[in-house]
A and B are shown apart, each in its own frame.
Chain A
Amino acid sequence: QQPVQSPQAVILREGEDAVINCSSSKALYSVHWYRQKHGEAPVFLMILLKGGEQKGHDKISASFNEKKQQSSLYLTASQLSYSGTYFCGTGGGQTGANNLFFGTGTRLTVIP
C-alpha cells in the first residue's frame, strides 16, 4: 500500500525549481504532503482531495491526478529552508481514523 516517490533524492541551488512525484498502485482518495527536517517530526504542508485539484502554499504547490493515481509537489524558487525529506501520504479511509500510508520519501537538499 506504500506509495512510491521519485526522485529519491535531489540537490538544488537556491532559486532552482523541483518536482517530487508520488504514485500509488491503489485508488487515491486524498494525498497529504509532509516535510520532515533532520531530527524533527514531519510537518503538514497540504492536503489534496479531488482529482485535478491543485493547491499552493507560498512557493510550494501540488497537484492530484486521481485517474493516474498520482500527485506531484512543485517547489519553485527554492530556499535553504526547503531542505528536508518530503513525504506523500495516502489516506486509508478507515472508519474512525485516517491512517496515512506514507511514500518512500524524497530527500531535498538546497545549497547556496
Chain B
Amino acid sequence: DTAVSQTPKYLVTQMGNDKSIKCEQNLGHDTMYWYKQDSKKFLKIMFSYNNKELIINETVPNRFSPKSPDKAHLNLHINSLELGDSAVYFCASSDYSGGYTDTQYFGPGTRLTVL
C-alpha cells in the first residue's frame, strides 16, 4: 500500500494556465506539507497543514493555494503558471508530536514543466 501518493506524476502545461496537484496519505497523520525541489535539487518547504489548518506559508506567492478537504488530503492549486514554477513538487506527511521529532514521509513527487 502506498503511504503518500501524488497525482499526477508528470504535468506539462503552458505559461498562464492553472493546474492542481493532489496528495493523499493513508498513514493517519495529522500534518501534511508541500515542498518544492528546483533544478539544482534544493528542497524547500512551501506549506504545512495540521488537521486541515494552514500552519505556515513560507513566503510562497499567493498564486499557490493549498486546499485540505480533510486531514488525509492536501492538494496544491497553482494559478497563472510561470516558467519559474517548473520543479518537482513533493507532498509529505508526519504525525506531529509537539516537538521536533516527527519523521516526514514523502510522496513520489510531481514533475511540473511549464512551457
| Residues of chain A at the chain B interface (Cβ within 8 Å) | 2, 29-30, 32, 40-44, 47, 49, 85, 87, 91-102, 104-105, 107
The list of the 5 closest CB pairs from A to B, nearest first, reads A30-B100, A97-B48, A91-B100, A96-B50, A41-B106
Min CB distance A30 to B, Å, is 4
Q: How many A-B residue pairs have CB under 8 A?
A: 81
Residues of A contacting B: mostly: loop
**Bound form: Cα–Cα A78–B20 in Å:** 40
Min CB distance A42 to B, Å, is 5
Judging by beta carbons under 8 Å apart, are A42 and B106 in contact? Answer: yes
Judging by beta carbons under 8 Å apart, are A97 and B109 in contact? Answer: no
**Taking A99-B56, A102-B42 as contacts, is the C-beta distance between A41 and B107 under 8 angstroms?**
yes
Contacts of B96 in A (CB 8 A): 96-98
